Structure 1
Amino acid sequence: MGTSSVPVIDLEDFPSQSDKLIEACEEWGCFRVVNHRIPAALMEAMKAVVRALLDLPPEIKRRNAGVSAGSGYVSPTKVNPLYEGLGLYDIASTEAVRSFCSQLDASPHQRETILNYSEAVHELAMDIGGKIAESMGLSRDLFNEWVCQFRINKYSFTRETVGLPGVQIHTDNGLLTILQDDENVGGLEVMDKTTGVYVPVDPMPGSFLVNLGDLATVWSNGRFYNVKHRVQCLEATVRFSIALFMLGPKQAAVEAPQELVDDEHPRLYVPINSEEYKKLRLSTGMRAGEALALFRSGSS
C-alpha cells in the first residue's frame, strides 16, 4: 500500500469533505491535504533554505536555543543517530521567527522566505483545525490561541544505514502536525489502526501530510487516533522535512469540549497541560502514546 491508502482531503471542497475528514481523523490519524493555497514556489524556496540552514557548522546550529523543552537545536543521539533538527517555539510570533533567523545568521532572502512560509503554514494550521472543529459541530475558532511550534529536520542516510530506522517509533505529543515531507525521498510509515502494520506514506508533491497526536485523542474524547509513525532509511541520501506542531493553548489545559461529553460518552481524560505533557514524554521516554494512560479519568 502507498499514498493512495492515506486519505486525501481537498481543502476547497467543504463542507462536502467534512465526513471524510472526521473519518480520516478517527480511522487513520493522518491525511494529506491538497488545494491548501501555499504556493509551490514558496514550498520549494523554503526547502532550499532548510538545506542551507541544516548544512551550517555545528557551532552555529547550537545557537538555536529552545525556550521550551525540545524546541531548539537537536543533534544526533544514540537513539536517533541519523537525525538532527532546528526549531522555534511559537511560529505565530514574528519576533520569535526573527530571533530564529538571527540565531542562524540567515541572509535577507532566507529571512523573507522563512517569514512568508511561517505565516502561510500557520494560516494553514488554523484552517485545518477550524475545519476539524466545524466538522464536529463546534466553533472553528477553538484553536486560534494554540501555540504552534516549528521544526526543520534532516536525516543523513548512508549505504550502511539502509533498512535502519531514521527516527524511533513515536506519536506526536500535540493536537496535529503539518508536514511538508521530502518529495524525492520516501521512508515515512504510519501504523494502520486495525492491523498494527506499518504502511508506507509515499511522497506526494505539492501536498502536506497531517498527523494527529496524543492531545487530539484527549481533545476528541478518545475519538481521534494518535497515529504511531516512523521514518525508515530506504536509500543512501539526505532526507529533509518541514513540520509545524499545534501543541496546545497558551494558558488553559487541553480537555474535550463539553459538546463531546455525555452519559454515553463520559470524559475519558483529565485536563492536560500541553507543556507539562511534553516534558513528561521527554523525561520518561514514553514517546508512543503510552503516557496518555496516566491521564485517564479515574486512574490513580
Structure 2
Amino acid sequence: METKGVPIIDMQDPCGLPEKLVKACEEWGCFRIVNHGIPLNLLSEMKAVCRSLLDLPLEIKQGNSPPGPGQRYTPPNMASPYFEGLNIYDMAFPGVVDDFCAQVDASPHQREIILKHTRALYDLAKDLGGKLMEGLGLGEVEIFKDWPCQFQMNKYNYSQESVGSTGAVIHSDPGFITILQDDELVNGLEVVSKFTGELVSVDPIPGTLVINIGDVGKVWSNGRFCNVLHRVQCYKPTIRISIAVFVLGPRGKIVEAPLELVDSENPRLYNPFDFEEYRKLRISTKSPTGGALELFGAAN
C-alpha cells in the first residue's frame, strides 16, 4: 500500500473487496471510494442545497435549535472561527428530516434532495458495514441497522486573511464510521499518517467519497481499526463546502468488541461503554483526539 496518500478503493471491485476495506481501516483509518453507487447529480444537488441553507440569515439557521447532540446549528466559535454547520441528528428516524426542513423553511425540492441524499448515504453505510464484517470473518452481519446517524452540512468561510489557518482543529470522530462528501474544488482535509505521524493532504477527486474510522470503530474492532486523526486547513480564500454522515454507536446497546475478535492472543482492549456517555466524556475531558478512550482501557 502506498504510504504517500490514503488508499482509493473501487466499491465494484470483484476481487477481495471486504479484505481491502479492512486493510485500509487497519493501516490508515481513512480511504476514498469510487463507484459507490450514489448518482453524481445527487451529490451535486446536495452541495447546492447545503450552500443555500448555510447562506440563510442567522436567525433562521438558529431557529429553536435544541442543545446537546440534537443541536441543529453550529455557529463559528473561538476554536473554529471560519466554520459553521447545520446538523440533522438521527437522520434516519421517521420525521426527523421533515422537522429540520420545516425549521429552515426548506423548499419541497430541497427537502426531496436531503431525503434522497440521507437515504442513499445511510444505505451505503450499511453496505460498508456489512463488507467490513465480512472482511473480519464475521459473516453477513447488519451492523449499522438502526444505529443513530448524524447528517452534517459544513461551510468554511475563508478569506485572504485566513489562508494558512485551521478551519477544523485536529480530531478523531467519536462514532464508528464517517462518510464524507468533500468539496471537489477546494481541498483542505489532512489526515495523520499511521506510518510517519505526519499530516497528509487528502486532495479532492470529483465524484468520490471519503471514509473515516472513528473512536467506536477502533473499540469495536478491538484495536484493529485506526481512528484517524484529521483536520481541515485553509489553502485558498474561498468558500469550502462539505457534507458528512456520522454513523455513531448502537442504539440502546453498549459498545464492545464482539467475542469473535477477542482471544488469548488478542485480549479485549477496552471495557464496554455507552456511546452517549462516551461522547459527553469526550467533551467534558476536552479530548477531541480520542484520548478519553484510555479511561475505558481494559487494563484500568
TM bracket, shorter-chain basis: over 0.9
| Residue in 1 that maps onto 2:21 | 21
Q: Kindly state the Cα deviation for residue 76 of structure 1 after the two structures are TM-superposed.
A: 0.5
Q: Is structure 2 residue 170 aligned with structure 1 residue 166?
A: no
- Deviations along 1:157-191, one digit per CA (max 9) or x if unpaired, are 11111101011110000001000000000010000
Q: Could you tell me how far apart the structure 2 residues matched to 1:161 and 1:110 are?
A: 31
| Residue in 2 that maps onto 1:52 | 52
- Deviations along 1:72-118, one digit per CA (max 9) or x if unpaired, are 21100001111110101112124001111111100011011111111
Match of 2:294, SS? Answer: helix
Amino acid at match of 1:63: G
| Residue in 2 that maps onto 1:128 | 128
Contact 2:173 2:227 in 1 (8 A): yes
Amino acid at match of 1:93: F
- Deviations along 1:256-277, one digit per CA (max 9) or x if unpaired, are 0100000111110011211111
Amino acid at match of 1:47: K
Q: Kindly state the Cα deviation for residue 70 of structure 1 after the two structures are TM-superposed.
A: 6.2
Q: Is structure 2 residue 137 aligned with structure 1 residue 137?
A: yes
Contact 1:24 1:30 in 2 (8 A): yes
Amino acid at match of 1:206: G
RMSD: 1.6
Q: Kindly state the Cα deviation for residue 193 of structure 1 after the two structures are TM-superposed.
A: 0.6
- Deviations along 1:228-283, one digit per CA (max 9) or x if unpaired, are 00000000001010000000111101100100000111110011211111111122
| Residue in 2 that maps onto 1:90 | 90
Q: Kindly state the Cα deviation for residue 145 of structure 1 after the two structures are TM-superposed.
A: 2.2
Amino acid at match of 1:9: I
Which structure 2 residue ranges, 5 or more long, are not aligned?
A: none
Amino acid at match of 1:85: G
Q: Is structure 2 residue 257 aligned with structure 1 residue 256?
A: yes
TM-score (norm 2): 0.96
Match of 1:169, SS? Answer: strand
Q: Is structure 2 residue 287 aligned with structure 1 residue 286?
A: yes
Match of 1:248, SS? Answer: coil
- Deviations along 1:107-165, one digit per CA (max 9) or x if unpaired, are 01101111111111110111111111111111331221211111010101111111010
Q: Could you tell me how far apart the structure 2 residues matched to 1:88 and 1:294 are?
A: 29
| Residue in 1 that maps onto 2:203 | 202
Alpha carbons of structure 1 residues 98 and 14: separation in structure 2 relative to 1, 3 Å: farther
| Residue in 1 that maps onto 2:192 | 191
- Deviations along 1:38-71, one digit per CA (max 9) or x if unpaired, are 1001100000000000000000000262474264
Alpha carbons of structure 1 residues 109 and 209: separation in structure 2 relative to 1, 3 Å: same
| Residue in 2 that maps onto 1:270 | 271
Which structure 1 residue ranges, 5 or more long, are not aligned?
A: none
Q: Kindly state the Cα deviation for residue 15 of structure 1 after the two structures are TM-superposed.
A: 5.5
Contact 1:65 1:72 in 2 (8 A): yes
Amino acid at match of 2:19: D
Q: Could you tell me how far apart the structure 1 residues matched to 2:196 and 2:110 are?
A: 44
Q: Could you tell me how far apart the structure 1 residues matched to 2:47 and 2:246 are?
A: 18
Alpha carbons of structure 1 residues 234 and 80: separation in structure 2 relative to 1, 3 Å: same
Q: Is structure 2 residue 99 aligned with structure 1 residue 99?
A: yes
| Residue in 2 that maps onto 1:295 | 296
Contact 1:15 1:135 in 2 (8 A): no
Match of 2:210, SS? Answer: strand
Q: Could you tell me how far apart the structure 1 residues matched to 2:246 and 2:27 are?
A: 20
Aligned residues: 298
Match of 2:254, SS? Answer: coil
Pick which of 170-179 and 126-135 moved more. Answer: 126-135
Q: Could you tell me how far apart the structure 1 residues matched to 2:179 and 2:4 are?
A: 18
Q: Could you tell me how far apart the structure 1 residues matched to 2:224 and 2:170 are?
A: 22
Match of 1:186, SS? Answer: coil
Detail structure 1 runs of 4+ shifted over 3 Å in the superposition: none
